[in-house]
Amino acid sequence: VFKNNLTFFAAAKVSSSFPPADLPEIAFAGRSNVGKSSLLNALTRRWGVVRTSDKPGLTQTINFFNLGSKLSLVDLPGYGFAYAKEEVKDSWEELVKEYVSTRVGLKRVCLLIDTKWGMKLRDYELINLMERSQTKYQIVLTKTDVVFPIDVARRAMQIEETDEYHCSFLILLISFLIEDDGKLQVWCWHPKPENG
């Protein structure tokens, strides 16, 4: 969890409005509703700074957040939003692709996958793109609380087994629960800690 202050500093709808890449960046990608905003809020302990929504596809811009002038966290628009018009989908995807394959200073993309649903076509498309552009990425399985632990393990294994890719394919499992008293519980663990 990052303790530095998180400040929003730019939103870009087109690549020409990306801010200068002065800081190292970590970007978060995934299908709409995968739990991306929840993760960003939890990581920065700033519940509400990054908008969460039950409406998939709300984030239509690439949002850049500055963490204590040391690191940028980048919220990429969710893809695979079933109700979006085709041209809107295409423009979001183009923007994400352009960011991922050209951004100087991008250190890693955390690709969020819903544990229950697993990897879909658009996730693989993004992985292929990152492979081609040699972008470092890792898989983060989200919402592990809504499936049985055995299914979480199966999903992690399934992703590892079908992995014919080369980047840092480290799988993290995460889950958030808001308890009755309003406290936020966050779990994050690695299925194979001995591998680092």
Q: Answer yes or no whether residue 52 interacts with ligand GDP by CB under 6 A.
A: yes
Residues in contact with ligand GDP, shown as a per-residue x/- string from 164 to 183 under the rule CB under 6 A: -----------xx-------
Closest-CA residue to 81 (of 24, 120, 48, 116): 120
Nearest to 73 by CA among 8, 135, 143, 130: 8
Count the residues of the shown chain that bind ligand GDP, applying the rule CB under 6 A. Answer: 19
Site string for ligand GDP, 59-98 (x = CB under 6 A): -------------------x--------------------
Residues 6+ apart with CB under 8 A from 173: 115, 140, 141, 144, 152, 156, 187, 188, 189, 190, 191
Is 157 an interacting residue with respect to ligand GDP (CB under 6 A)? no
Classify the phi-psi angles of 75: left when phi > 0, otherwise alpha if psi is within -120 to 50, otherwise beta: beta
**37 near ligand GDP (CB under 6 A):** yes
Among 93, 98, 131, 145, interactor with ligand GDP by CB under 6 A: 145
Determine the interface stretch with ligand GDP among 26-34, 83-91, 124-132, 148-156 (rule: CB under 6 A).
Answer: 26-34
Tell me how far CA of residue 180 lies from CA of 54, 61, 176, 184, in angstroms.
20, 33, 13, 10
Closest separation between CB of residue 194 and ligand GDP, Å? 25
- Residues lying near ligand GDP in the complex (CB under 6 A) are found at 30, 32-38, 52-54, 56, 78, 142-143, 145-146, 175-176
